Structure 1
């Protein structure tokens, strides 16, 4: 069953959500935590957790954040989206730098 939002999501987004959901599932399994326990700790129903683990785009960012926090992955998520790791923005800023810098003109108070 596909909802309207996922039908219009770019492939890269849909695939990325699926991979992120799968990574959350693997993290849960590696911690030997039953899905029902994680759902309870996150404060969602088991069907909502299953949607998260499948990469359903209708799951809120808040649910995602609580799940990764509960699994101990929140610091890595925060680092991933920090401005210091935004390489595209850094590249854009670098491309806008002037090719040369001139010394500022001295202000002549007699000209005022």
Structure 2
């Protein structure tokens, strides 16, 4: 994943026809560090990656990461559903009901 990110950063720099020296200077890092970013070196900090993205004008793209968390929202909704259902069960038990189906009318 880091290697793919580094490759995309490198391609963005090349598409803009900017040298590694120019981007490194804008990001306030050395050319060696930029080279490591473009290789996807896991030792590079997130802050360094953000500075390179900002130097390329791509810092707004970073804001999109995990912005629409479908799985997390579904898990949260399930937990909220359980929490909302839980007080009803407790109320039903306290009122003498013997099962969750006690809401059904008896003939």
Q: Same fold (TM over 0.5)?
A: yes
Q: Note if 1:22 corresponds to 2:7.
A: yes
Q: Which has the larger radius of gyration?
A: 2
Higher relative CO (Cα under 8 Å, sequence separation at least 6) belongs to: 1
How many aligned positions are there? 86
Match of 1:56 in 2: 41
Secondary structure of residue in 2 paired with 1:80: coil
- Given the two structures, how large is their TM-score scaled by the length of structure 2? 0.71
Match of 1:97 in 2: 80
Q: Distance in 2 between matches of 1:73 and 1:33?
A: 14
Q: Distance in 2 between matches of 1:81 and 1:29?
A: 27
- Given the two structures, how large is their TM-score scaled by the length of structure 1? 0.69
Q: After alignment, is 67-76 or 19-28 more displaced?
A: 67-76
Q: Distance in 2 between matches of 1:72 and 1:81?
A: 20
Q: Distance in 1 between matches of 2:63 and 2:81?
A: 32
- CA-based RMSD: 1.8
Q: Note if 1:72 corresponds to 2:57.
A: yes
Match of 1:33 in 2: 18
- Alpha-carbon distance, 1:36 to partner: 1.1
Where does the alignment leave 5 or more consecutive residues of structure 2 unmatched?
A: 92-107
- Alpha-carbon distance, 1:40 to partner: 1.0
Q: Deviations over 1:19-42 (max 9, x none)?
A: 000000000000000111111111
Q: Distance in 2 between matches of 1:70 and 1:61?
A: 14
